[in-house]
A and B are shown apart, each in its own frame.
Chain A
């Protein structure tokens, strides 16, 4: 039972991780003169889009998390609308946080917002898929005793890794190395992506390692 769940999660994570690579490769094939640094925003949105699509698909196929109480169309629609609203709000929330951290307020607004979108894709979207548009549940998940399944634990890990990755990505910006990836917000988006990827790898390994200690309460 345990092993099965972990294996399922590991393969799901593999799909999501491959979405990042697909999102990088696809524009490189389709568009001419594409480079991760040069046409950075294209890369960001392509990665964000593919990760979002794969995430939704994976969770829909696996049927994890989405415990629809009612099956009516109107309920589904309202749920979709609310999810979209939450996602947009989370983009703005991240944008504000990033600006407070010292990102330029007026110049390169689009770049900053793209970082916010990417972060939202890595964190909020997974919350939406797993827990639905329910902020209370989100807050609950991020506490020590809040996780109720392996998926919740993996959500904790990937979210923390993405955010920490973006945070670490800000470190090289002031250095005087004059590298192309030091331009705002490339290092942060790269940091967030690497953080997300490592979170995807770490989560099953960590859960496997700690499976004796992990006890989940009723689902």
Chain B
């Protein structure tokens, strides 16, 4: 068979999808330019102004204490009557102080801009700017903030900034602190290290004199949320501790010091964050000063909600440092005096002055930004400039006439600042339509191409066509590059790649069309006419279901209910199989009383018992499928949009379960599922004779697989032990937490490597029996007929050998005793499943590794996945067998769209049934700590662990994809046709593929193209959804995350599909070599 052309064509098809995705995502995800300028005290904000603006007002506070309590949600800080939940009313100090000293303290809602991840928020409330969506990915790779920010301004002004807590700060602001005490932040299971570390130093530092600004970032509340959720006694303890901290800090404050207690974001009811629901964005902001700052009575003008960006200008002006250059926040007014300063008496800024400086600074930033980036729409920019000009006039006339600040002017300034913020928000949510459109075009062409390749089946041999179109693509890409170099002066790789791929795609499609036309001119494509159905499969039920699935991605409701949608479609398709077979009259044996016209089917070689048996297998497969579908519905997680939904209790890690009886029960359940998976794999391999012999792959199946599952079971036991018990073995437990998963991973990697190196699972046993004399008898005949070349000889010999081996395999299974009529000289165990056994084994190894990255309860999900996959394969196999038993099958190896679609829907369904959702807060970050409980140094390893965890179901189904091709052949032997005379033709199993290598490679290519087409269509649909609905209310909440997940899942699934198919080609290569070695021995 042609191995290399198949692989090349597949690679080319995949790369087309990748380029399309790259182009689209590049145009869709928002980018904001960073302005690399800094404010300084000497800046004159207006052209022609004589005096500098910033530092002149003088500092109202000499020092400040900034207590950042990570994930301090607003309702943690507010008081609520009635019977409080564990997280409520645990910070009484805030209420006591605000009610008893209204001139000294305020509590505001502090609204974060999404994405509500900690690093984004720290950037936001130090630079005063808005984060963009792309930054989410940087949470692992915290790199230094390059934009002007508060920490830099403070350091420049000579303030000694002391930092302690979350080490994200240290990576964001390296070497900018006067003193810094960072503590590791990454381990979410650790509630106390950071907080205890801070508390050890906080009070001592405060009582000392060598600091001006003190930043302390507590992580306990956030980690408690991630680990236990807010509704847990541990949260109450943590908040009570924070209450004590705030009290102690207030006691130590001096009159010239401002205290800010704030949360960087909130958390959902499950303790996660990252999205933009109110529970995630609304944090608490508490301001306190020992000297009175606020007006005594709460006035109407005071804001209820303070945007997070507003902290930056406020703190800057209160501490007497310049406002960072890119800040677009507005000062929090109640902190400034209402009346203008009387000459010389007070040097502090009044509200009007503060707002005016703020407005001038924002105006300057806007001018600079619009000069650099040109992405703010011209009309809104000129609107803002007009507004500012009129404000300028009004302000200067007010100052000239010495009037007091009119409330109207203050309101106008505020509305200007709000308008700027809104314009910026709208601009930084802006897209690149041309890139998006070309990405979509490339994706659509790639889908069409896959469809055409799978239908026309012209690809495998057409290396010439592929080469020509690749050359065409290279030419076009180079042309675009030269053009860009000439006109723009630089090369944008995305465009060149896009042009190259698109032109090569079009060239290939054109070639395909022309080839088809030629074939028709010659009298029709033989492959097509033999199939019997010339109608295009566009309107068939499976493609209709695929269209439904794609359409469902365009509606936010269906994306939210995606798990249910996939199950619904999967079940419908599953039920469709027997209905369809019955409609074709294939499900039941044609009974004589039915009086069918016998001429319709040309005397099909069927026995009604075989048909009945196969129908039973089909119905049993359907039953298993339905059962596992229904059970897996109980393993789903919940989106925040889904009201009245409870996440599966199995998703909670065992360590969180408090009832020990329940914990033990769940542990037993998980281990039993794990053992069942491993045992089932072994049984399958043994049944088909793939567990004999000395080969490397057999070794991989025998030892690393069970040992790795043993390690997994032990690891679960260790990781779920409560911390309080076994205090004496703490070190041992910590060691086991590191070693056990790593050993398991090592075993699995060893298994996979061995499998790749020698994927043959065949055991050859020579037999010295009287059969030796008879066995090789037919061989000379073959030699005589085709003794032209060694290859030709081999080609004819191989089928003969399979026949004999197969027979010996069969006999060897049924009766061990030597009996000698026409027995071959050799017995090969496992030859019938020589292709599928390595694929099954690799899926098993991978599955175990992926299971290890999940929480223990998901073992059940993986067992269901195994069951469902097997059920789908059997369903597919028996429907194929039923068709072929009754003579309605074409006779080639092609896998119908129905099975491919079922397979792909199952991957989507198990994405949800393993507790995943296409949302960022639902990512299971815990996977990064399996085997690395202390966290990581780099970002690649944790990132890939989390990606593997997230897309494990896609990966497993992608690797197992070639099984769809093999399974009908594997199941062939089970049809009880041995008793009939025609047994010689039967039960060749996968050796049938080697008898017809051309059909084999065609079918393999077709299967891969169909898989790619089905997956690619879904990516295309979600890209279309994101593009069409980019102004939709739900775009950043539903469609953009869905696109990211769909695209990432596609990339991973494609890579692993290629791995699966490459393994098949590797096996084919090995089998060829094996036969080459074998046959000369046997013939001579």
Given contacts A142-B582, A175-B555, contact A167 B572 (CB under 8 A): yes
1/0 per position for A133-149, CB-CB distance to B under 8 A?
Answer: 00000011011111000
Per-position binary interface string of chain B over residues 566-608, scored 1 when its CB falls under 8 Å from any chain A CB and 0 otherwise: 0110011001000100111101100000111100100000000
Chain A interface, number of residues (Cβ within 8 angstroms): 18
Binds A, one of B347-355, B557-565, B765-773: B557-565
Identify which of B561, B585, B596, B629 contacts A100 (C-beta below 8 A): B629
Alpha-carbon distance A102/B645, docked complex (angstroms):
14
Asked if A139 contacts B564 (CB within 8 A), the reply is no
For residue B588, which residues in chain A have a CB less than 8 angstroms away from its CB? 139
Contacts of A146 in B (CB 8 A): 585
With an 8 A cutoff between CB atoms, is B554 at the interface?
no
Question: Is A143 in contact with B582, judged by CB distance below 8 angstroms?
Answer: yes
Whether, in the assembled complex, B626 has its beta carbon less than 8 Å from a beta carbon of chain A, the answer is: yes
- Per-position binary interface string of chain B over residues 531-569, scored 1 when its CB falls under 8 Å from any chain A CB and 0 otherwise: 000000000000000000000000111101100110110
Smallest CB separation, B767 vs chain A (Å): 49
Residues of B within 8 A of A170 (CB): 568
Report the separation of the CA atoms of residues A140 and B630 in the bound assembly, to the nearest whole angstrom.
29
Known contacts A101-B568, A167-B572: does B557 contact A176 (CB below 8 Å)? yes
Smallest distance from the beta carbon of B630 to chain A beta carbons, Å?
5
Interface residue from A100, A139, A217 paired with B630 (Cβ < 8 Å) = A100
> Given that A100-B626, A102-B568, A102-B633 are known contacts, is A175 also in contact with B557, CB under 8 Å in the complex?
yes
Given contacts A142-B579, A217-B595, contact A102 B567 (CB under 8 A): yes
Contact A145 B557 (CB under 8 A): no
Q: Check B584–A174 contact: CB distance below 8 A.
A: no
Contacts of B595 in A (CB 8 A): 217-218
Which residues on B sit within 8 Å (CB–CB) of A176? Answer: 556-557
Q: Which residues of chain A from 147 to 175 have any CB-CB distance to chain B below 8 Å in the complex?
A: 167, 170, 174-175
Contact A174 B557 (CB under 8 A): yes
Number of A-B residue pairs, CB cutoff 8 Å, is 45
Nearest-Cβ distance from residue A181 to partner chain B, whole angstroms: 15
Contact check, B561 vs A145: say whether CB atoms are below 8 A apart: no
> Are A142 and B561 within 8 A (Cβ)?
no
Residues of B within 8 A of A144 (CB): 583-585
Q: Closest approach, in angstroms, between the C-beta of B418 and any C-beta of chain A?
A: 30
B539 CB, min distance to chain A CBs, angstroms:
15
Instruction: Give Cα A148 to B996, complex, Å.
Output: 43
Q: How far is the CB of B1024 from chain A (nearest CB, A)?
A: 19
User: In the complex the two chains form, is A143's CB within 8 Å of B585's CB?
Assistant: yes
Nearest B residue to A156 via CB reads B583
Q: In terms of DSSP, what is the predominant structure of the interface of chain B?
A: helix
- Tell whether A100 pairs with B571 under 8 Å between CB atoms, given A174-B557, A174-B565, A176-B557: yes
Distance from B573 Cβ to chain A, minimum over Cβ atoms (Å):
12
Main SS class of interface, A: loop
Shortest beta-carbon distance, B1029 to chain A, in Å?
Answer: 14
Residues of chain A lying within 8 A (CB to CB) of residue B597? 217
Task: Tell which of B558, B582, B583, B626 touches A174, judged by Cβ atoms closer than 8 Å.
Answer: B558
User: How many residues on the B side are at the interface (Cβ–Cβ under 8 A)?
Assistant: 29
Task: Collect the chain A residues with CB atoms within 8 Å of residue B561's CB.
Answer: 174
Residues of B close to A174: CB separation below 8 A: 557-558, 560-561, 564-565
Please report the C-alpha to C-alpha distance between residue A146 and residue B564 in the assembled complex, in whole angstroms: 35
C-alpha gap A145/B594 in the complex (Å): 10
**Which chain A residue lies CB-closest to B563?**
A102
Residues 165-210 (chain A) with a chain B CB within 8 angstroms: 167, 170, 174-176
Contact B571 A101 (CB under 8 A): yes
> Chain B contacts of A175 at CB under 8 A?
555, 557-558
Contact check, A140 vs B594: say whether CB atoms are below 8 A apart: yes
Nearest-Cβ distance from residue B812 to partner chain A, whole angstroms: 41
Chain A 66-87 interface mask (CB, 8 Å, partner B; 1/0): 0000000000000000000000
Bound Cα distance from A35 to B123, whole angstroms: 58
Query: A100 vs B570: C-alpha distance in the bound complex, in angstroms?
Result: 11
Complex CA gap A42/B24 in Å reads 53
Q: Which residues of chain A are near B560, meaning CB under 8 Å?
A: 174
Q: How far is A10 from B571 in the complex, measured between Cα atoms in Å?
A: 35
Contacts of A140 in B (CB 8 A): 594
Give chain B residues whose Cβ lies under 8 Å from the Cβ of A218: 595
Which of A97, A102, A142, A217 contacts B583, CB < 8 Å?
A: A142
- C-alpha gap A115/B564 in the complex (Å): 20
B571 / chain A contacts, CB cutoff of 8 Å: 100-101
A145 touches B596 (CB 8 A): yes
Query: Which residues of A are found within 8 Å of B568, using beta-carbon distances?
Result: 101-102, 170
Distance in angstroms from A67 CB to nearest chain B CB is: 15
Question: Contacts of B572 on A, CB cut-off 8 Å?
Answer: 167
Complex Cα–Cα for A143 and B595 (A): 14
Chain A residues with CB under 8 Å of B564's CB are 102, 174
Which A residues lie within 8 Å of B594 (CB)?
Answer: 140
Say how far A3's CB is from chain B's closest CB, in angstroms: 26
Would you list which residues of chain B between 625 and 680 have a CB under 8 Å from chain A? 626, 629-630, 633
State in angstroms the CA–CA spacing of A176 and B561 once bound together: 11
* Complex Cα spacing A144 to B590, Å: 13
In the complex, what residue of chain A is closest to B572 when comparing beta carbons?
A167
Within the complex, the shortest CB–CB distance from B570 to chain A, in Å, comes to 11
B583 contact set on A, CB distance < 8 A: 142-144
A143 touching B557, Cβ below 8 Å? no
Question: A144 vs B588: C-alpha distance in the bound complex, in angstroms?
Answer: 13
Roughly how many angstroms separate A145 CA and B584 CA in the complex, as a whole number? Answer: 8
CB of B527 to closest CB in A, whole Å: 25
Which of B564, B597, B600 has the largest number of chain A CB atoms within 10 A? B564
Name the A residues within 8 Å of B557 (CB-CB).
Answer: 174-176
Q: Please report which residues of chain A, range 99-114, place their CB below 8 angstroms from some CB of chain B when the two chains form the complex.
A: 100-102
Rounded to whole angstroms, the CA-CA distance of A142 and B588 in the bound complex is 12
In the assembled complex, the CB of A131 is this many whole angstroms from the nearest CB of chain B, namely 14
Closest Cβ of chain A to B1032, distance in Å, is: 13
CA of A102 to CA of B632, assembled, Å: 11
Shortest Cβ gap from A152 to chain B (Å): 13
A170 to B558, CA, bound (A): 12
Q: How far is the CB of A41 from chain B (nearest CB, A)?
A: 22
CB pair A143 B584 closer than 8 Å:
yes
* Chain A neighbourhood of B630, CB < 8 A: 100
Q: How far is the CA of A24 from the CA of B600 in the complex (A)?
A: 47
A176 to B1033, CA, bound (A): 13
In the complex, what's the smallest C-beta–C-beta distance from B400 to chain A, in angstroms? 57
C-alpha spacing A176/B597, complex, angstroms: 53
CB of B918, distance to nearest CB on chain A (Å): 15
A101 CA / B556 CA spacing, docked (Å): 21
Interface string of B433-470 (1 = CB under 8 A from A): 00000000000000000000000000000000000000
Q: Give the residue among B555, B582, B596 with the most A Cβ atoms within 10 A.
A: B582
Q: How far is the CB of B110 from chain A (nearest CB, A)?
A: 30
8 Å CB contact of B585 from A101, A102, A145: A145
Alpha-carbon distance A144/B600, docked complex (angstroms)? 13
**Alpha-carbon separation in the docked complex, A139 to B582 (Å):** 8
Taken together as a complex, chains A and B put the C-alpha atoms of A111 and B596 apart, in Å, by 43
Nearest-CB distance from A107 to chain B (Å)?
11
Residue of B nearest to A167 (CB): B572
In the bound complex, how far is the Cα of B579 from the Cα of A139, in angstroms?
Answer: 9
Contact partners of B633 in chain A: CB under 8 A: 102
Q: How far is the CB of B631 from chain A (nearest CB, A)?
A: 11
Complex contacts, A97 vs chain B, CB 8 Å: 575
* Cα–Cα, bound, A218→B595 (Å): 9
Complex CA distance for A136 and B558, rounded to whole angstroms: 39
- Which of chain B's residues have a CB closer than 8 A to the CB of A101? 568, 571
28 contacts between A and B (CB under 8 A): A97-B575, A100-B571, A100-B630, A101-B568, A101-B571, A102-B568, A139-B582, A139-B587, A140-B594, A142-B579, A143-B582, A143-B583, A143-B585, A144-B583, A144-B584, A145-B596, A145-B600, A146-B585, A167-B572, A174-B560, A174-B561, A174-B564, A174-B565, A176-B556, A176-B557, A217-B595, A217-B597, A218-B595
The 3 closest A-B pairs by CB, nearest first: A174-B561, A175-B557, A143-B585
6 A-B pairs besides A139-B588, A146-B585 with CB distance below 8 A are: A100-B630, A102-B633, A144-B583, A144-B584, A145-B596, A175-B555
